Every structure is written in C-alpha cells, then in structure tokens.
Structure 1
Amino acid sequence: MLRTEIFKDYCVNKDLSSREEEVRMLLLENSTDIKLLRELAAILYYKKEAKEAIKIYEKLIRLEPENADFLAFLGYLYYELDIEPKAIEYFNRSLDIAPDAPFVYFLLGNAYSRNGDVISAIKSYDFAIFLDFDIYTAHLDFAKKYEDMGRIPRALKEYITAYEIDPRDEEIKNKIIFLKKELECA
C-alpha cells in the first residue's frame, strides 16, 4: 500500500492547487473524512510541502492509531525531510503492526543507513530481501519519481545507488552522466 501511495502518478493532468482547494472545502463539512485527508496529504506531498503533509498524517494517526500504512507514510515524509530518527520511529511502529511489509523494511534500511547505523540498515534490507523485495528496482522507481517531480539531485542519488547494485546497465550509467551534466549547467 505504501509503495502504491508513494509512486502514484498524482501530478498527471491535475491542477493540484485547485484540487487542494476543493478538498479543503469538503473537509470543512467533515474534518475527519479519512479519504479526503489522505488525498489532501498526497496533494501536499506532490506540491513538495512535506511538513504540511506531516500535519495531516499526524491527524490521520490520531483518528486511526493502529493503521500501519499511515504510520509508514508518516515515516516516509520524515525520511523525505532527512529527519531519520523520526522516520525510523514511525517505520518501526508500522512494522510492529504489519511485520510483513518489505517496502517499509527497505525504507527503514535507508533511514538507518542515512543515520549511520549500518548494522541496523543491513538487517532491515535482509528482511526486505527475505520477503522477496527487489531493492534494485525500488531505487530505480524512486529515481524516476524524483526525476518526474523535478528533484534532480535526489534522482541522481537513486540512480547512482541502483548502478552500484548492478553496474551492467548502460542506460542507467548514461542517465547518471546526463543528470550530472544537467546539474552542472543549472
């Protein structure tokens, strides 16, 4: 579920600002509508307003404290803001509820790695792999998502990580070279 939410192509053919306004108006009638709150959080996330999306997910967790998907997405939002300790906390809380979530283990591994806890990162990645998760493809998915969102430095990091996992892919190598040149020109 979390993977679907993160990689949902929300931006295509939608005016995010006008839809955000519509959703906010609907929430005035029912401020606890889970579906609308999730949509608002997604819109804010795609508008690169992760701090505002966090506020919405904190409300969702108050409404459904045992919802593993909400906890995991909140962890992901903190991860996006490079607040690894909070990301780790929410990923672990999510896994306490739903321990068979390989994508959450993968993200937890990334958060531990960024936080300098290599042993915990490896353990998390091992759980993800044990649950039949393709880490290489996940890095490519993130790279493409970040590129589509115009977040080129983040996309480049993900392409490099994927290339380090499997350096045989010439297309990825060329993409890395292209993005590095694009960043130099910016």
Structure 2
Amino acid sequence: MNEQKNTAENTVNKQKDLETAGKTREKEDPKQLLLTASETDNYEDKLRIYDKALGLDPLYFDAWLQKGFVLDRLGRSNEALDCYNKALEIVPDHLGIKCLKGFAYSNLKDYEKAIECYDEVLKVNSEDVFSLFQKGSVLENLGRYGEAMEAYDRALEIDPADILIREKKMRLLGLIYKKGTLVDSPDSDFN
C-alpha cells in the first residue's frame, strides 16, 4: 500500500516537474523574456534578461535596443552605443536608434557626434521634433545659441503646443538676455 502511495506521489511530482519545465521552456522565448524584463524595475535584472534573450537570438533587434537604452540610463553610454550599433546592423535605417545614439553621445559629452546623429535623422525626417529638440539642447551646450534657437523654433513650428520645447526656448532667451550679447558665441551674428 505504501508502495502505491509513493508511486502516486512520484507521478504527481513528476507531473509538476514537467509542468514547471514547460513553463520554463515558455520563458525561453526571446519575446517572452522581453515581456518579463518589462515587468521589473531593476536595471541589472533587465540586463540579465536581455542577455539571455540575445543568447537565444543574437539578431533580436528589440533586445539590442532595450539593452542599449538601459545601459545608457545606467551611465554606461559607451556600452549603449555598442548595442545601438548592433541594432543598426540588423535594421540599418532605423531612425529611433540613430536618435538614441545621439542621446548617448550627448551623455558622453561628444556633442559633435550627437549633432551628426540628429542631422542623420533630420535628413530623412525633417519634422522629427525630438531630434530637433535634442539637437537644440546639444547646440546650447556648445554655446551655439543662435543655432539652438533655430532648432527650437523649427520644432515649435511643427508642434506649437509642446510645452517642454517652449520652456527650453524661454530659458535660452533668458540666458541670451542676461548675457546681453552673443559675442562669446560662435553665433554672434544671431542678434
């Protein structure tokens, strides 16, 4: 009798093990792994999950994109750029990745490369408000206030209701007013 009970328990345990293994196999799907990563707020956990997804599918564009984004948020912008470059090998004309590269270069204070990235996007889509805004911010960081103002103005022509751009432009106007001149700026002919 005990033998039958043990056999029944073993069968139930084996069934549970198989069900658990089946659930584990489901999570081995790279898309499922990205869904799992979206459910956690811990960036290190996200990175482990993205690496696992990329181990299963090294050409999984979304995993490269998300991994790059998280790395940039962690201040690891050089590594983020590597991920973005991998993503661009998969989808070479993806404007969003080019824009994210500009953001990463800006975080590294490599402003000229950031501008190149935003200009690349703007060549294809001259109405990309985010790229215009980011380019304006980078130009402002370089002290090229006139060009920054042009970028903000162009962005506001496209989206006049964007409060963030409007605020950024007003701060820049305040800075220009406070200085009283743009003489020390490469754009001194702006006035």
Q: TM-score range by the shorter chain?
A: 0.5 to 0.7
Secondary structure of the 1:69 match is helix
Separation in 2 of the partners of 1:65 and 1:33? 14
Matched, 1:76 2:72: no
2:159 aligns to what SS in structure 1? coil
- Partner of residue 101, structure 1: 128
Q: CA deviation at 1:81?
A: 1.7
In the alignment, the residues of structure 1 paired with residue 155 and residue 92 of structure 2 have an alpha-carbon distance, to the nearest angstrom, of 24
Q: Which runs of 5+ in 1 are unaligned?
A: 1-9, 141-157, 166-186
In the alignment, the residues of structure 2 paired with residue 11 and residue 134 of structure 1 have an alpha-carbon distance, to the nearest angstrom, of 31
Offset at 1:12?
8.8
| TM-score normalised by L of structure 1 | 0.64
Pairwise mapping of residues 1-186 of structure 1 onto structure 2 (< 5 A)?
A: 13-133=40-160, 136-137=163-164, 161=171
User: What is the aligned length?
Assistant: 138
| Separation (CA, whole Å) in 2 of partners of 1:78 and 1:103 | 15
* Cα offset, 1:161, TM superposition: 4.2
Post-superposition, which runs of at least 4 consecutive aligned residues in structure 1 deviate over 3 A? 10-13, 133-136
Asked if 1 retains the 8 angstrom alpha-carbon contact of 2:105 and 2:111, the reply is yes
Tell me, yes or no, if the aligned pair for 2:152 and 2:165 is still in contact at 8 Å. Answer: no
Shift of 1:11: 9.6
| Residue ranges of structure 2 left out of the alignment (5+ in a row) | 1-36, 176-191
Q: How far apart in 2 are the matches of 1:78 and 1:139? A: 24
Contact 1:66–1:97 (CA<8 Å) still a contact in 2? no
| Mapped contact 1:68–1:95 kept (Cα < 8 A) | no
The alpha-carbon distance between structure 1 residues 83 and 139, as it changes in their structure 2 partners (threshold 3 A), is farther
Match of 1:179 in 2: none
Does the 8 Å contact 1:41/1:56 carry over to 2? yes
The alignment yields a C-alpha RMSD, in angstroms, of 3.0
Q: What percent of counterpart residues are identical? A: 18
CA distance in structure 1 between the partners assigned to 2:76 and 2:161 by the alignment: 29
Q: Secondary structure at the match of 1:31?
A: coil
Question: Post-superposition shift, 1:90?
Answer: 0.2
1:77 and 1:120, CA in 2 relative to 1: closer, same or farther beyond 3 A? same
CA distance in structure 2 between the partners assigned to 1:105 and 1:35 by the alignment: 24
Higher relative contact order (CA 8 A, sep 6+): 1
